Structure 1
Amino acid sequence: LDYALVPSCIWNMRTQLIILRKKVWSMKSIKQTAALAIASLMLVVTLVLSLVTFSKAQTALTGTLHELLISKAEDTADLVATQLDSWRRIADGIARNFDGEASRTSQQTYLQRETRENDLLYIGMLRNDGALILPNGQTIDASKHPYYDGLIAGQTIITTPFKLATDDNMVVTVAVPITASNYIGLVGFLPGQALCAAIADVGFGKTGYAYILDGEATTIAHPNYDLVLQRDNDLENVKTDVSLQELVTIQKEMIQAKTGAGRYDYNGKNRMLGYAPIAGTNWSLAFAAETSEVLNRVASMRQFVMVFLFVVLAVAIISATLLGGALAKPIIQVTKVAQSLAAYDLTVSIPSNLLKRKDEVGQLAQAVGTTVAMLQQSLGSISNSSQRLAAASAQLSANAQTVAASVQES
């Protein structure tokens, strides 16, 4: 045995133990690391799945809402068409019962009674020369009115709202042909708000409303009656306000008697719109609502997703903490053994349950156990060598004393 190597051997073992201790100590945050990694993974997976689900749900819901708005527009268009048919039947009934041979007084009395019973402003009889005779005897030149050419052609006409030259009031007229002598048609006058009233009760939540455009995209019925009075037309407005371009694109589809849906920005708010033609006319009805209200279910879904993510994150952190603890516990046991070795305590041993593990922790435990065994064996050898060295030293001392005694005797 080379005794000069003993201090070096002990120093090298000490160095290796310090290195091992540092390696073990570097894993002291494995519990937190595992918890963070697992929680992050679960959060990312849940977030991705939630976003994909939310996106698909929003797309599906938007498509469903488009169909709903189209259906709403079609139903309202049918409602307006029914109202128009009702006005035609009323006017046609009045015309059929009009007695062209009766006295002027009798005719006026009949027309006044029908006016009251059918909520009309008044009823006029149109002559061939374009003169419109009112029940009060007043005569109006109607040759320039929208219904005149239609009556000449024998057609029943419902006009869009227009202003009378006589009193500047906005009216809607229902004109039907008549065969009474000297007359070509009967004209019933309705208030200009009559079309607006037909759609007034149609709505969707707080922001939904319906409006009607004629064949030139002029507003003829709207909750804001001022737009009707102004004969508002976005095909003209877009020339000075380019922000209306999206809406105009939709309205161009509307005046082509198409059915559909779209989205646009108007007055700083995004809206969804469904539209459908009104049967028997060249008009189109639109049903619009603010997107924020129409998609309020999506907003609720978004809130649910956020709450769900927080719940998943909490569960992930708890689960990861428990799992991290389970992973860290055996490593902590090995760490304590390594710390004892670093303090030169060779009486420690690795728990048998760790040595039986087949994973990386088991390999670490076996490596530390092997180190402990080797150190114990090495120190045992050193102890034996020390004892032999002491015995040899004692023998040398005895021999020296014997030699010294012999020298003294001689």
Structure 2
Amino acid sequence: MKIRPKLILAFSLSMVTVAIILGSISYYKANNALTEVVESKLLTKATDTAVYVEEKINEELVLLEMLAKLEDIQSMEPEKQRRIILTFVEGNEDLLSLLVIDNNEQVITTSDDSFLDSFAKDVSQKGLSGETFISDVHIDTKLNQPVMYATMPIKKGEAIQGTLLARLDGRFLSKVAQEIDIGETGYSFITNQEGVAVGHANEEFVIEQVNFVQIAKEDAEYEELANLLTTMGTGETGVLKYYFQGKERIAAYSPIHGTDWSVGVAVFQSEALEKIFSLRTVVFTATIILLIAGIAIAFFLGGQLANPLIVVERLGLIVADGDFTNDVPERLLRRKDEVGSIAQAIDSITRNMRDIVSQITSNAHSVASQSEQLTTVTEQSIEAANDVAQSIQEVAEASETQVLSSEESVEAIVEMSKGVQRIADTAIELSEFSNHTTDKSRLGAESVQLAIKQMSNIHEGSNETTELINHLKESSEQVGEIVKLITAISEQTNLLALNAAIEAARAGDAGRGFAVVANEIRILSEQTANSTQEINTLIHEIQSEVSEAVTSVHGAQNEIKKGNSTLQTVGEAFNEILTLIEQVNEQVEDLSAVSEEMSASSEEVSASIEEMANKAKQSSANAQQVAAASEEQLATIDDINSTAETLESMAQELSDLANQFKI
């Protein structure tokens, strides 16, 4: 797989992972936070409701206490007492009747014709024993309605004269519960230790005295509700979720001080967590948008990082194939990073090789042209030598003809000598060019080695970067552990503050100041927990980004290895070029030696012909010697012709070698 798809895939997977993790964490944290807020509000509502109910009950008891302290009541005279209690009953809508009972448990005064059943007698005995008491809801068989009894001792000094027994409307606590406003689906209820409702927004539960704790023993559907009622009966404060009548509900509960009752406030879970459902939609939408943006960024960054490397790789492969016609883009040459260094090295190699190949091609054409001229001269020399041989054969017949032929031979030899000299000069120039070409090739090879060294330095730098990133990852993990410790401390502080608030509430007015301090401590611990959570989130993000950086550095290291391999190939190509140029240089040196031999031979031929001209008159006597010289001349000319053909072949090989490169 190419580097661009790899980078795009890596970035995309990273963004998808980050988006999913962030979305999940955000939803989880927000869900917990909103749940805690809902539970906290419900618990506050339950506590406030318990205080409110307690105040309502105390109001009734305070009125009874005030009534019990009146002298007419303490006189235990029915006539005096009756006038007062009738007025008292008329002014209290929740009071059904009021009775005065003496120490003999006899009703001496009543606001109506009420009688005492066994339940009322038990309550009155508590008053006669000096206890202020309010009973659970009781179904009055005569009235056929729920009633509650409150008793207040009548004391004169320290002596108990009797007791006041107030028969209250059993729906009194239900009315209080109905006054509590808790959202659209919320409601409140009051239960005793047995889990039976003594006050409920739905009065039927109070009238029918339904005991769900007992019902749950036979019907598992009410187990969660029974568990709630049982927990409330222990006098604890807390929050529980339960299932009732086809709905999931959340209830907070708190005890009513001075009684055996507890107040519960409940609301449908769908209403309480409505914002969480909306938040889930928002988080999901935001995650999708983040994913789309992340993938788009991955495509953009992948292209930005991979495109320069792809261009450099393509140029390296083209140069390795001997094609030097492509220029390195200016935008790569202007880069200040490692890619720019490699691009500059390839550009330098390309330019040097263009000059070298151009010079080799030009000199090869020059050598070919000179070899063609040399071939022409040698052919002329051969013809001249044949003429000389013919003149030797006819020397006896015409000396003048022999002299003329000798002169023509001298001229031909002179021309041949000039041609040989030109060949020698060309060979010298070619030798110098070969040396220059060798130097350029060595320079190119050194440039390639420098590029390879730079690639190695880049690879070492990326390894150091990887080590630093791994160290950063370890440090972030240590910070994460510290944050966990702070979170645990803040949670413990919150718990201690909550316990302190509960104890302060139990202490009543005396503990209100301490309750405020405990509440401030709890708020501070919650803020600490939120701050540590945000730090923890940032630590996770840093760890994720460090992992992404490690992956990117590994990918870059693989690409650096590929670039190093390409440069190795280019270096091998330069070594082959250097070897071929050295071979050409050796052949040029051989050509130069042959040219020198031809020049010396032509001078000897010229001297021989001049001597023959001077001794033209003695041509007959020296005909054999002239014939031998002519044969030697023909042999030398053959050597020159052979050398010219060799030179032409070498020029063609040099041209073919240069044509292997494109400039």
Contact 1:131/1:143 (8 A) holds in 2: no
Identify the residue that residue 191 of structure 2 maps to in structure 1. Answer: 213
Task: Look up the match of 1:17.
Answer: none
Give 1:85 deviation, angstroms: 0.9
Q: Secondary structure at the match of 1:147?
A: helix
CA distance in structure 2 between the aligned counterparts of 1:376 and 1:263, rounded to whole angstroms: 87
Residue from 148, 160, 164 that aligns with 2:124 = 148
1:167 maps to which of 139, 143, 146? 143
> SS of the residue aligned with 1:347?
coil
Within 2, Cα distance between the matches of 1:241 and 1:386?
110
Deviation at 1:328, TM superposition (A): 4.7
Q: Is the 8 A contact 1:125 1:183 kept in 2?
A: no
Partner of 2:134: 158
Identify if the C-alpha distance between structure 1 residues 387 and 220 changes in structure 2 by more than 3 Å, giving closer, same or farther: farther
Alignment of 1:92-107 (within 5 A): 92-95=65-68, 96=70, 97-98=72-73, 100-103=76-79
Q: CA RMSD in A?
A: 4.4
User: 361-370 or 124-133, which moves further after superposition?
Assistant: 361-370
Cα distance in 1 for residues equivalent to 2:9 and 2:88: 83
Matched position secondary structure for 1:92: helix
Task: Please tell me whether Structure 1 or Structure 2 has the larger radius of gyration of its CA atoms.
Answer: 2
Percent identity reads 25
Q: 1:332 to 1:228 in 2, by over 3 A?
A: same
> Aligned partners of 1:292, 1:374: CA distance in 2, in Å?
79
For residue 184 of structure 1, what is the aligned residue in structure 2? 162
From 224, 235, 244, the counterpart of 1:257: 235
Looking at structure 2, the residues matched to 316 and 45 of structure 1 have their Cα atoms a distance apart, in angstroms, of: 9
Deviation at 1:247, TM superposition (A): 3.8
- For the residue of structure 2 that corresponds to 1:140, the secondary structure is coil
| TM-score, with structure 2 as normaliser | 0.47
User: Do the aligned residues in 1 keep the contact of 2:193 with 2:230 (CA within 8 Å)?
Assistant: no
- The answer to whether the 8 A contact 1:218-1:231 is kept is yes
Higher relative contact order (CA 8 A, sep 6+): 1
- In the alignment, the residues of structure 2 paired with residue 324 and residue 287 of structure 1 have an alpha-carbon distance, to the nearest angstrom, of 57
Q: Distance in 2 between matches of 1:93 and 1:200?
A: 28
What is the Cα deviation at residue 326 of structure 1?
A: 2.6
* Structure 2 residue 85 is the aligned partner of structure 1 residue 111: yes
Q: 2: CA distance between counterparts of 1:382 and 1:268? A: 96
CA distance in 1, matches of 2:183, 2:376: 113
259-268 vs 355-364, which moves further: 355-364
Quick one: distance in 2 between partners of 1:59 and 1:372? 68
More moved, 368-377 vs 73-82? 368-377
Partner of 2:283: 305
Listed as ranges, the matches of 1:384-395 within 5 Å are none
Greater displacement, 233-242 / 222-231 = 233-242
Instruction: Label 1:393 to 1:46 Cα distance change in 2 as closer, same or farther (>3 A).
Output: same
Match for residue 3 of structure 1? none
- The counterpart of 1:124, out of the listed 93, 99, 115, is 99
3-state SS of the aligned residue for 2:119?
Answer: coil
Normalising by structure 1, what TM-score?
A: 0.72
Give CA deviations for 1:278-308 in whole Å, capped at 9, x if unaligned: 1111111122223343344444544443344
Q: Are positions 1:70 and 2:43 aligned together? A: yes
Query: 2:14 aligned with 1:38, yes or no?
Result: no
Shift, 1:222, TM fit: 1.1
CA distance in 1, matches of 2:108, 2:272: 48
Quickly say closer, same or farther: Cα 1:238–1:397, change in 2 above 3 A.
farther
Structure 1 counterpart of 2:111, from 135, 146, 155: 135
The 3-state SS of whatever aligns with 1:285 is strand
Q: 1:116 to 1:249 in 2, by over 3 A?
A: same
Shift of the 76–370 alpha-carbon distance from structure 1 to 2, 3 Å rule, reads same
C-alpha separation in 2, matches of 1:243 and 1:362: 77
Report the Cα offset of residue 184 of structure 1.
Answer: 3.4
Q: 1:349–1:369: 8 Å Cα contact kept in structure 2?
A: no
**Aligned partners of 1:217 and 1:233 also within 8 Å:** yes
Q: Is the CA contact (8 Å cut-off) linking 2:127 and 2:151 kept in structure 1?
A: yes
Alpha carbons of 1:233 and 1:350: their partners in 2 closer, same or farther (altered >3 Å)?
same
Find the aligned partners of 2:41 and 2:363 in 1 and give their Cα distance: 96
Question: Structure 1 pair 205/141, CA: closer, same or farther in 2 (3 Å)?
Answer: closer
Question: Which residue of structure 1 lines up, in the alignment, with residue 59 of structure 2?
Answer: 86
For 1:274, the equivalent position in structure 2 comes to: 252
Q: Does 1:236 align with 2:214?
A: yes
Q: How far apart are residue 87 of structure 1 and its match?
A: 0.7
1:331-410 to structure 2, matched below 5 A, reads: 333=311, 347-354=325-332, 358-359=337-338, 363=342
My pick for the range that moved more, 381-390 or 265-274, is: 381-390
Query: Matched residues in 2 for 1:371 and 1:175: separation?
Result: 112
- Structure 2: how far apart are the matches of 1:397 and 1:388? 14
Give the stretch that moved more between structures: 277-286 or 86-95.
86-95
1:79 CA displacement:
0.8
Deviates more, 1:375-384 or 1:358-367: 375-384
CA contact (8 A) 1:131 1:142 kept: no
* Count of residue pairs brought into register by the alignment: 378
CA distance in 1, matches of 2:373, 2:334: 47
- Note the C-alpha offset of 1:336: 7.8
- Supply the distance in 1 between the matched residues of 2:377 and 2:145 (Cα, whole angstroms): 145
Q: CA deviation at 1:171?
A: 1.3
C-alpha change, 1:272 and 1:387, in structure 2 (3 Å) is: farther
Aligned ranges for residues 291-330 of structure 1 at < 5 Å? 291-330=269-308
1:311, CA displacement in angstroms?
Answer: 4.3
In 1: Cα distance, 2:219 partner to 2:184 partner: 27
> Take 2:299 and 2:201, find their aligned partners in 1: how far apart are those partners?
61
Q: Which has more helix, going by share of residues?
A: 2
In structure 1, the partner of 2:266 is: 288
* Paired amino acid for 2:15: M
Residue in 2 that maps onto 1:11: none
Bigger strand share:
1
SS of the counterpart of 1:141? coil
Deviations 1:104-125 (A, max 9, x none): xx65554333211111222233
**Contact 1:334–1:368, Cα closer than 8 Å, also in 2:** no
- Asked if the contact 2:47–2:253 (Cα under 8 Å) also holds between the matched residues in 1, the reply is yes
Higher deviation after alignment, 366-375 or 326-335: 366-375
Q: 1:327: Cα distance to partner? A: 3.0
